Structure 1
Amino acid sequence: YVTNPNQLGIDHYEFENPDDYLASPDIRDFINKHHLDLTYSNEHFNPRYAFGSQRDKDRHYNTPRAWAMQKFLNPEKEYDPKSFFIPWCQKPYRKITVEDVKYVLSLHYQDTPYDPYGPQGDAVSQRQFRPIGINRTSHTALLQMRPHKPSETTGIQWLAYGSMPFGTMVPFWTQVGTTPAYFCQTTDKVDTGNFYWSNRLIAAICDSHFQHHEADLDDYVETTMALGHAMINRVDTALANGESIDFEAENQKISDQIQSETDKLLAKVLDDASNLMTNRFSMSD
């Protein structure tokens, strides 16, 4: 896997190995002309030194995100969140799942003093680093390629809208001409009839009482992603049995299921948050 958070991170290049290392044919002349090779003579060329950045901003905005992802995918390795020596790519300690990708793209430094929702740290440390799962994310996609499957089901696109710690990823077949309205008809008007605004509302409601809503969010992600895997398995099995599949209809089915689960979550967190409002009073009317 590669971690590349808005910062050129490639840290190894071999000029004499064009089959594995792709670059412009005149890159070596350009580097020599402008004296950009900052490595010692006995080392491989490091593009990060020549073309990357090592700014104060990177220590708070970029490198901590690489650190957080690798902390999860390679927990046996120890790095500093401000380090400029975090590897660009690593072999994980085990194979990576769709759920792992969802998790790392939702990270907000859980179980560290840097988690803005966590019990550790203080007001300074909890705002020190830019989270991966940030409030301004609008859309996230995971493209899953399955070369061992028939051509019409090789590619699956998992979609997520809104701030990732509060949402889920939904799989869609890509050999289609239309997308369910719940996922494609997002307007400027706030409307719970589409996935985008429902996720935005859930995030805004849960943010102030994250720990109170965390179990509900976890259950939602587990339920909805299980529905996605069940849909994929059902279609794979049907195709293996020689059945024909209407992929747009399958996408609509999963969209309807996700809409139902999202509506349930929105109602639940809204009710809970209403009972946690500042003007609550213990004596009943």
Structure 2
Amino acid sequence: MAQIQVVKKKDMKKKRDPLKDQKNIWLAGHCLTLGFGTIFTITYLFHVLLFFKYRNWKWLFLRVNKDYHFIAGNRWYHSIVRFLPRVFYRMALVGSIISLSVTMYQNWATANPQWYEMLSSENFQMMILAALWVFVGRRSFYRLFPYMILSFIHLTNSKQEIKGTVEPGKMTKRNVFLLRLLSYSELVVLLALALDSILLKDGTSGICLTIYFAFYWLRFNFSPYAQATALDVLGHLDHHVPPKYRPQWDKVKRFIQAKDEARMRRREKIEKTI
């Protein structure tokens, strides 16, 4: 008696490409950051332009009337509208965390990085700070601005990055102004946090300043853009330094230059081992 042979049909469905999924998630993260960040920026600028309505001029506009709301009313939709800027702000930061996480995964998936290597990575530093801004501190445009610049750079070069044909050198040259603006914005964040701590605007300002300064110090040690920005700022202030303090000023500049030279030596050693 002949046996009936069962032939299994091949599954015609295409298998999911994990790399393609990662690229789509990476792209969606940057879109979230730039999209929600832009919407939040509009609401933030509107809030800043009308500062005289919720700040008392008798206190030199330093005192805030916490009972004032731009959207007046006690109905449920008034509460939702007032809550939306918080959603925009956090969604923009969540988008950055998503895109940076994908980048970190692709860079370190086949390696076993140490904590030192992770902390020296700019992507890891920005991801940790984004997570900090999600949970701690006031909503502010200046904290979100560096992530918006980064997302804009990646989105404008997304086709090349997704195809893997992007050349880092050419990409850097095309975006020199934006990268410099990003470095300056990070310095502005540091100064703004210091000012918030001095004025006691927020109970978490001091904690945020301490954590941010620690990460900025890491960026200062490993990021050429942060070092170049610091030297540029010092160069603009050179002619304002009194002769009495010139030796100390020159010592600070030499310290920054030494950090830059040390970074270059580390890079040369790494390139020789590859």
Q: Normalization by structure 1: what TM-score?
A: 0.28
Larger Rg: 2
As a proportion of its length, which structure holds more strand? 1
Structure having greater relative contact order (Cα 8 Å, sep ≥ 6): 2
- Considering fraction of residues, name the structure with more helix: 2
TM-score with structure 2 setting the length: 0.29
